[in-house]
Amino acid sequence: MLCTITCRVIASVLAFLVGWAVFEIVRPTEELRLAEPKSQILSISLQRQGCSDAERKCPVFEATFRSDGTCTFIGYANDAFIGKYEAQYEDFGYLVEQVEKQGFFELPLVPATGPMEETVAVEVITSDGVKRLTTQNWASTPSGLRALQAVIEEETYEVDWEDSLTP
């Protein structure tokens, strides 16, 4: 009787170990098969479109950073075009990291609430499509979006722009 119980326990332990080993071997391939390809960020843009109050003299520009290492800046002053500038930008990975860190793709559309002060848009183009968030009021802008706007604007001022319209 003791031998029968001992044999059953040994058989159960061996069956468990064999099953566990098979599970460990098969599991990584299941995870690889189930993982969806992650979309790739192709460009990140910040567009400052001015203030509703002309006295405030808010900056008006569009800065676009691309995954290929190029960037473009288009500036305006008093509704007049002042220039288009281009540069090489090697920190695109940093901007992508900030987009992900601030949860840009999870942020909801920002409803226009309160007085319209300054219009700012952040646009991210991925291999899957485009997401654009536009805000008109600093107070109603989610903190993650505010932080992302500040990072992109800071990077805009750090770039060594070259006038692309001058021969």
- Tell me if the domain spanning 41-163 has CATH number 3.30.1560.10: yes
Cα distances from 77 to residues 57, 115, 122, 130, in angstroms, run 9, 23, 20, 28
Number of H helices and number of E strands within the chain?
A: 3, 7
Q: Which residue did the predictor score with more confidence, 46 or 162?
A: 46
From the CB of residue 106, how many other CB atoms can be counted at a distance below 10 Å?
8
Helix, strand, or coil here: 62? strand
Residue 80, Cβ density class (10 Å: 0-12 exposed, 13-18 middle, ≥19 buried): exposed
CA 53 – CA 16 distance, rounded (Å)? 73
- Reported confidence tier of residue 57, pLDDT bands at 50, 70, 90: confident
Q: What percent of the chain has pLDDT over 90?
A: 41
Assigned token pair, 146? 């505010």
- Does the pLDDT at position 19 exceed 90? no
The domains of the chain are located at 1-35, 41-163
- Reported confidence tier of residue 22, pLDDT bands at 50, 70, 90: low
The pLDDT of residue 52 is 74
The pLDDT of residue 18 is 65
pLDDT in tens, 105-142: 998 877 766 677 788 899 999 999 999 998 887 777 88
The pLDDT of residue 101 is 93
- pLDDT averaged over every residue in the chain: 81
Cα distances from 44 to residues 50, 112, 120, 135, 161, in angstroms, run 19, 23, 14, 16, 17
- Reported confidence tier of residue 151, pLDDT bands at 50, 70, 90: very high
- Does the pLDDT at position 33 exceed 60? no
The pLDDT of residue 2 is 54
Positive or negative, the CA dihedral 10, 13, 18, 21 is negative
pLDDT in tens, 64-114: 999 999 999 999 877 778 889 999 999 999 999 999 999 999 988 777 666
